[in-house]
Amino acid sequence: MTVPSVTLVGDIELPIVGFGTWQLHGRQAYDAVRYALDAGYRHLDTATMYGNELQVGQALRDSGVDRDEVFLTTKLQPRNVGRERATIEASLRDLGVDRVDLWLIHWPPRSGSGLPTWREFLAAREAGLTRAIGVSNYSLRQIDELIDATGQRPAVNQIPWSPSEYDARLLAESRKRAVVVEGYSPLRGSNLRHPVLTGIAQRHGVTPAQVVLRWHVEHGIPVIPKSATPERIRENLDLFGFALSDEETAEIDALA
């Protein structure tokens, strides 16, 4: 199965469905990532803060999947601001890779948009420690501050995204800046019992979770569902045997 991808600035391909790893620890993190790679995921999302980079890296090595076939994202937590280079070096060591594919500022630092941190990110990219750099939980204003000061745009802004959080203006404004909106907590943020979702799910013979994730795909929004449950890990990637009509997509948009 080939999962479609979204192109980031710099012509870097990001598989549109990835595997989220927040709250997966120890053996459970290792097993879940192994399972996800076996199921066909080629995009893993971790963070320094999740405390599971060792397990993610070990699972990747043991999987037999070529490192270069997997898009690897990690993040710098606000408390590591000022120690950016040491942080990415520790991430690379724990993950057991020479570079990651995407490194994100996990949250804007308290001081504002984090311009000094962004400059460190640019330097890390320049040094080949990451292919792409981006942000998470940023406002458009904070993104503009980074772009105005450096002329370099974040490839991605990873933010909460689900039917109840649909924001057409934010999406359009991000796209105008060539910043890809990547959605997190797609299922946690959704009421999977909502009749609109259950109705559409029934029509297509899929689950409401698959409807939500397919809705992200219809909008071209990369999405990174997490699960510790093998059947759900498989289910959350099984999104390419059906499609939502424009009317169904609009019906879900209207849940915001």
Give the residues lining the site for ligand NDP (CB under 6 A).
Answer: 20-22, 45, 106, 136-137, 158, 184-188, 207, 209, 224-229, 232, 235-236
DSSP state of 16: S
Q: How far apart are CA 148 and CA 142, in angstroms?
A: 10
Name the minimum Å distance from CB 159 to ligand NDP: 8
Name the minimum Å distance from CB 83 to ligand NDP: 19
Q: Which is nearer to ligand NDP, 128 or 195 (CB)?
A: 195
- CA distances (Å), origin 141, targets 8, 49, 244: 20, 25, 33
Q: Which is nearer to ligand NDP, 151 or 234 (CB)?
A: 234
**Ramachandran angles phi, psi of 104, nearest 5°:** -115, 145
Count of alpha carbons within 13 Å of 189, Cβ hemisphere only? 20
Tell me which residue has tokens 């939502």: 244
Name the minimum Å distance from CB 119 to ligand NDP: 21
Name the minimum Å distance from CB 66 to ligand NDP: 22
Q: Which is nearer to ligand NDP, 102 or 148 (CB)?
A: 102
Enumerate the active-site residues. 50
Q: How far apart are CA 55 and CA 33, in angstroms?
A: 8
- CA distances (Å), origin 199, targets 64, 70, 102, 150, 192: 40, 35, 37, 47, 11
Q: Which is nearer to ligand NDP, 106 or 125 (CB)?
A: 106
**Cβ proximity of 13 and 5 under 8 Å:** yes
